[in-house]
Amino acid sequence: MEFRRKDLLGIADLEPEEIQVILDTAASFKEISTRPIKKVPTLRGKTVVTMFYEPSTRTRMSFEIAAKRLSADTLNLTVSASSAVKGETLADTAHNLEAMAPDVLIIRHAASGAPHYLAQRLKCGVINAGDGLHEHPTQALLDLLTVKEAKGTLSGLKVAIIGDIAHSRVARSDIHAFTKMGSQVTVAGPATMLPPYLETLGATVTTSLLEAVRGADVIMMLRLQLERMGQMFLSTLREYSQFFGLAPKHLQLAKDDVIIMHPGPLNRGVEISPEVADGPHSLILEQVTNGVAVRMAVLYFLIGGEKG
């Protein structure tokens, strides 16, 4: 099966077979990043534009590296130095960029649905690099690839996703992604950070970290998104860390070969202890490595080959 879409907007829309073909292609692209000359001509002549209205290190850099490894030309809109600060609307900015003939726009925006809004209006492809509290599809794809490589399968795994679920687009995309691929997902967090729709997405819900990690194959810790929340979500950081921070003692409850993941950036000592983040079970940097390969695969399917 091929992945034949103009845009990548979310995991909720995808069939498991589409996810699988992206993972398989990403796995084959990983080798390119190990070569002395890390470049292939696959996307020569294509133009990739990134528009990040929110901060990013991993996603923005890995999209740019992915595009360059495939020989595409890349341009970054520096939003703080763009005409957005003069009041230009998102749609006007995107239409003006499209007038310069890019093949794909990659957008991160605080408004849920911003990539969908652009995808309906633009002829070029649109990739969602994180929209508000909604989805972060390429993060979920790189998480799937990381787990598949470590465990050999996604089917039947017990995946615990822990922390600030309410503010996490990663959590939403990961719940869709892991359940579609046959894993059992348990989410845990303070009651104030557990939105009511989680069970409708196929996840088991608990307010106990201990319950979530018991027997887990995968523990995914989430960043506490202090910038998105008011005081009503949290009493103190210390109390949050006491009940929802992952420490070495918790790993004894999980499977012996449990893997620890985190999308980054880390709040060290809040949701995850340094000993766990840097310990032998951690695949946090492998996630980052796989982010390049997954984004190469997504760019390849959206703008490469005969469809481009």
Give the Cα separation of 237 and 235 in Å (integer): 7
- Cβ proximity of 219 and 158 under 8 Å: no
Quote the least distance from Cβ 44 to ligand CP, whole Å.
26
User: 299, 66 in Cβ contact below 8 A?
Assistant: yes
Residues facing residue 108 across a β-bridge: 52
Interface with ligand CP: number of residues (CB under 6 A) = 9
Of residues 219 through 278, those in contact with ligand CP by CB under 6 A are 263-265
Position 139 contacts ligand CP (CB under 6 A):
yes
74 binds ligand CP (CB under 6 A): no
| DSSP code string of 53-87 | SS--SHHHHHHHHHHHHTT-EEEEE-GGGSGGGGT
Rounded CA-CA distance 149/291 in Å is 13
Residue 46 Cβ vs ligand CP, minimum distance, rounded to whole Å: 22
- Residue pair 162/246 in contact (Cβ under 8 Å)? The answer is yes
Closer Cβ to ligand CP, 255 or 262, answer by number:
262
Q: According to CB under 6 A, which one of 57, 153, 235, 242 is a site residue for ligand CP?
A: 57
Which one, 265 or 279, has the nearer CB to ligand CP? Answer: 265
Cβ 287 to ligand CP shortest distance, Å = 8
Q: Kindly tell me which residue out of 20, 25, 50, 59 binds ligand CP, with binding defined by CB under 6 A.
A: 59
- Pick 205 or 221: Cβ nearer ligand CP: 221
Q: Which stretch binds ligand CP (CB under 6 A): 38-46, 57-65, 113-121, 298-306?
A: 57-65
- Residue 82 binds ligand CP (CB under 6 A): no
Q: Which of 58, 68, 151, 228 binds ligand CP (CB under 6 A)?
A: 58
Look at residue 15 and give its three-state secondary structure: coil
CB-nearer residue toward ligand CP: 106 or 159:
106
Nearer of residues 56 and 192 to ligand CP, judged by Cβ: 56
Of 147, 119, 139, 122, residue with least CA distance to 56: 139
- Name the H helices within the chain: 16-29, 58-69, 90-98, 114-121, 137-151, 169-180, 209-213, 237-244, 248-251, 274-277, 284-303
Residue 71 half-sphere exposure, CB side, CA atoms within 13 Å?
A: 10
- Stretch in the footprint of ligand CP (CB under 6 A) among 33-41, 55-63, 195-203, 243-251: 55-63
Smallest distance from ligand CP to CB 109, Å: 13
- The region of 51-59, 74-82, 159-167, 232-240 touching ligand CP under the rule CB under 6 A is 51-59
Residue matched to tokens 């990403």: 26
Structure tokens at 199: 């069970």
Site residues (vs ligand CP, CB under 6 A): 56-59, 130, 139, 263-265
